[in-house]
Structure 1
Amino acid sequence: MKKTTLPIILLTTLFFLWGFAHNLDPILIPHLKRSFTLSTVQATLVDSAVFIAYFIMALPAGFLIRKYGYKGGIITGLIIFAAGCFLFIPAANTQQYMFFLVALFIIACGLTTLETAANPYMTVIGDPETASTRLNFAQSFNGLATTLAPIIGAKVILTKTYSDNVLNAMTPVARKAALAAEASSVKMPYFILGVILVVIAICFYFSKLPVITHKADNDEKRSAHIFQVLRYKHVSWGVAAQFFYVGAQVCVFSLFILYATTSAKISEVQAAYYLSAGGFAFLTGRFIGTALMKFIAAEKLLCLYAAINVILCAGAIWCHGLVTVYIVIAICFFMSIMFPTIFALGIRDLGADTEFGSSLIIMSIVGGAIIPRFFGYLSDQTGNVQNGYFIPLACFVVVMLFGLTGHKVIRKAGIKELPVSNVY
């Protein structure tokens, strides 16, 4: 137990840090939209830059971890993450929106590498029976970041040097220069974050972490290529479930303000406060879900929570007034355990193929770039944003089926428990 205490503490800090970085993106979108006078479509390229990186980088990250181990993957991810943060300084200095997108893409490459390494490492570093519990506990700190990042980011980044009246009185050239200058407010927070990441990378480098060796019998070898892992039913189901879950989560959080202002007829500021409440519900759900897993099997709790969210999505479609906002906050609560639980169940008993399975499930996060488009399309075509919730409803049905039957492992002969070797 003592051998794994420090590694679990260090790993948990990573879950908070990448959650913090992700939840600064909703702050960056309106900030950069104003600073560079962007259209809504142009502003959403922030999310596109992030989720495309997950799709592109997940496989290389898996190969890197397979060759250099979890520790090597974590340190590499931290360095890439830090490099992207430091790039915000020249991005602000040059006042080029594309430069910001490149910096975000590099940050997301680091996050992809970190998540590909840290998620499976957390599941195999201790008792296999409590893997989902450990991962949900660590992901609870990701939920804490979901609550804190928007508050801190709003105070530090969402600064307006010039009022709208002053800007309107400027010439177009002067107005463009003034707005672009406001983008410089991102330099200090991202510089500080980059320094913290470098310090944590150094801590990992000098820490003695358990080496996880994935051994198989002579008649059981690693898959020749990554997509052979999809022969496992629970892996292919896990990839699908994570794809649809992340898509649903992005729909709920990213489009919350648009939904609330329409369904409940409240202001954007009021909607933002309710969004913070949704983040707190998400955090609370993680801790409560982790506690419940001591008494309820992870797959059963996942199935139950997904079924509840299917019903809540129906309420989000057909109800009216402020109750719709409370319904979406409840959806946030019941989404809380889904990502880590799907991940842990999706890579269960993979043995030597754990890194490959992890890469594919991380790669499926690209659902966050695709699913919300359907939400928007359905909302636009029907003229009612509430109808967009048919999309998350369908996504939660897939998650429910994964918890009901898709998680079941078809064991391959020869796979044994994964030993923890000596530290290095």
Structure 2
Amino acid sequence: MAGASISTDSSVEHSSANESKNYRFALTSLTSLFFMWGFITCLNDILIPYLKGAFDLSYTQAMLIQFCFFGAYFIVSIPAGNLVAKIGYQRGIVTGLSVAAVGCLLFYPAALVKLYPLFLLALFVLAAGITILQVSANPYVSVLGPSKTASSRLTMTQAFNSLGTTIAPFFGAYLIFSGADHSAVGDGAAVKFPYLLLAASLLILALIFSKLTLPDLGKSTNNNVSYQSAIKHRHLKFGAVAIFVYVGAEVAIGSFLVNFLSEPHIAGLSEAEASKYIAYYWGGAMLGRFVGAVVMQYISAGKVLCFNALMAIMLLLCTVMLDGPIAMWSILAVGLFNSIMFPTIFSLAIRGLGDAASRGAGVLCLAIVGGAILPLIQGVLADTLGVQLAFLLPTVCYFYIAFYGIKGSVPVAIELQGKEL
């Protein structure tokens, strides 16, 4: 009997070791996805000033780029959640990569005919693919290991998302602006080659992920779980609002960096030079995510989220109230404290949802529409009040995020348990 017991224990340990190895391989593979959609999303920050000059747009018109890109999240998220619940996370990833590649390919005919609305259509299709990726990959990372370290794990993979956003400004500045200070009115041809490269990369990744052997965690065990049952969780509802204001604030800040740094009383940089400084904003986010992944092993994710939100508020107030290098570096430093916000809010919001996790992820990705709406509002503010004062809008957003970190992210069941104790 003792021998049988030892054999059983050995078998369990061997199985556990294999599972852990498979999880590590899956997480390593998923980092490439986080890198790619970070890279693609950050290119919008270069695309905005380029197309603004190319088509002689107002700030409000230029923000339609983010409106169409992030508006896709609102339209596609729920269908994407349903799709992933049926076909699984891995097939959802392959589908998302394929759709995103089609969106990149559409930039070529848009540049040929030189019509701004066609660029917006290409961005919408591209974002639809990214949405499917978000719905597939974020919850997949959350379930690849212990739930108590989900925030840390998702933050670590999101760090590679930030690596993509850090590299993209140099890529965009070199290939899109090509060293020019301003883009010629009516010319959008410079985007053809960069987006063809992206399309090829996405198709290669789709092929690779279709062949990979990943842990089969991708289908819900209960396809009857509805969005209504998922949204009953208070911390998910509050989390959706937090995702809305966070993505809106992050995107709005990034979208105006080139124009803000070009202001004579701030830095007076050319568009090509200012584009490179975006790397500091996103590079800070990358650094903060690596640090945050370690810190949240010891400090609760909610407290870290609240602290970072308060620091972002302080930096934005410096940006609005001051000029010159202080205002410039204050706005760039916000990226450092943005770092852990999205993955932390996401993992806190789907905590304890069980079979409703894929539906919850769909709701949260729906809320990414904040990246469409808030930058457009900030564009209106920039046209009326000026670029600098328009940064008051994201400042307000971070106050809500601080509330979510300290109070709104606590599930009702945990609150009740605490009262009983």
The answer, yes or no, to whether TM exceeds 0.5 is yes
Report the residue type matching 1:145 in the other structure.
Answer: G
Letter in 2 for 1:58: S
- Inter-partner Cα distance in structure 1 for 2:369 and 2:151: 23
Does the aligned pair in 2 maintain the 1:76–1:113 contact within 8 Å?
Answer: yes
Structure 1 residues 37 and 342: CA distance shift in structure 2, 3 A = same
CA distance in 1, matches of 2:343, 2:261: 27
| Residues in 1 aligned to 2:341 and 2:237: alpha-carbon distance in whole angstroms | 16
Cα shift readout 1:328-386 (whole Å, capped 9, x = no counterpart): 122111111101111111111111100111011111111112223443445555x4544
Equivalence for 1:84: 103
2 CA distance for matches of 1:33 and 1:155? 18
Does the CA contact (< 8 Å) of 2:226 and 2:356 recur in 1? no
Percent same amino acid at aligned positions? 37
1:265 CA drift (Å): 3.2
Asked if 2 retains the 8 angstrom alpha-carbon contact of 1:306 and 1:399, the reply is yes
Query: Aligned pair 1:212/2:217, yes or no?
Result: yes
Q: Structure 1 residues 387 and 37 mapped into 2: Cα distance closer, same or farther (>3 Å)? A: closer
Residue 245 (str. 1) matches residue 246 (str. 2): yes
Name the SS of the counterpart of 1:237 in structure 2.
helix
Q: Deviations over 1:262-301 (max 9, x none)?
A: 5843213364454332222222111111121222121211
Deviations 1:213-271 (A, max 9, x none): 6778xxxx776531332210110011011101111112221122344455843213364
**Pairwise CA distance, 1:44:** 2.5
Give the equivalent residue in structure 2 for 1:349. 352
Q: Corresponding residue for 1:170?
A: none
Which has the higher mean CA deviation after the structures are superposed, 348-357 or 290-299? 290-299
Is the contact made by 2:242 and 2:345 (CA closer than 8 Å) also made in structure 1? yes
**Aligned residue in 2 for 1:186:** 191
CA contact (8 A) 1:314 1:393 kept: yes
Q: TM-score, normalised by structure 2?
A: 0.86
In the alignment, what sits opposite 1:195? 200
State how far apart, in whole Å, the 1-side matches of 2:216 and 2:256 are: 42
Give the alignment of 1:4-403 within 5 angstroms: 4-159=23-178, 179-180=186-187, 183-212=188-217, 225-262=226-263, 264-269=265-270, 271-378=274-381, 383=385, 385-403=387-405
Q: Which runs of 5+ in 1 are unaligned?
A: 168-175, 413-424
**Post-superposition shift, 1:9?**
1.4
Say if 1:263 and 1:322, in contact at 8 Å, map to a contact too: no
Aligned Cα RMSD in Å?
2.5
Regions of 4+ moved over 6 Å: 160-164, 213-216
Other-structure match for 1:404: 406
Query: In the superposition, relative to structure 1, how do residues 205 and 360 fare at CA in structure 2: closer, same or farther (>3 Å)?
Result: same
1:3 counterpart residue number? 22
Matched residue type, 2:309: A
Contact kept? 1:51, 1:368, Cα under 8 Å? yes
Find the residue that maps to 1:24 and give its secondary structure. helix
Alignment check: 8 A CA contact 1:214 1:352 kept: no
Secondary structure, counterpart of 1:268 in structure 2: coil
My pick for the range that moved more, 205-214 or 55-64, is: 205-214
TM-score by length of 1: 0.85
Secondary structure of the residue aligned to 2:216 is strand
Q: Is the 8 A contact 1:115 1:362 kept in 2?
A: yes
Rounded to whole Å, the distance in 2 between the matches of 1:134 and 1:400 is 21
Cα–Cα, structure 1 residues 378 and 67, in superposed 2: closer, same or farther, change >3 Å?
same
How many matched pairs? 393
| Inter-CA distance 349–207: structure 2 relative to 1 (3 Å threshold) | same
Structure 2 contact 350–357 (Cα < 8 Å) conserved: yes
2:324 is paired with a residue of what secondary structure? coil
- Contact preservation (8 Å) 1:215, 1:351: no
**CA distance in 2: counterparts of 1:190 and 1:263, whole angstroms:** 32
Q: Is the contact made by 1:215 and 1:352 (CA closer than 8 Å) also made in structure 2?
A: yes
- Residue 232 of structure 1 aligns to which amino acid in structure 2? H
Q: Quickly say closer, same or farther: Cα 1:101–1:163, change in 2 above 3 A.
A: closer
Query: In structure 1, how many angstroms separate the alpha carbons of the residues matched to 2:179 and 2:220?
Result: 57
Q: Name stretches of at least 5 consecutive residues in structure 2 with no aligned partner.
A: 1-19, 415-421
Please give the alpha-carbon distance, in whole angstroms, between the structure 2 residues aligned to 1:391 and 1:131.
Answer: 31
Distance 1:197 1:275, change over 3 A: closer
How far, CA to CA, are the matches of 2:110 and 2:42 in structure 1? 20
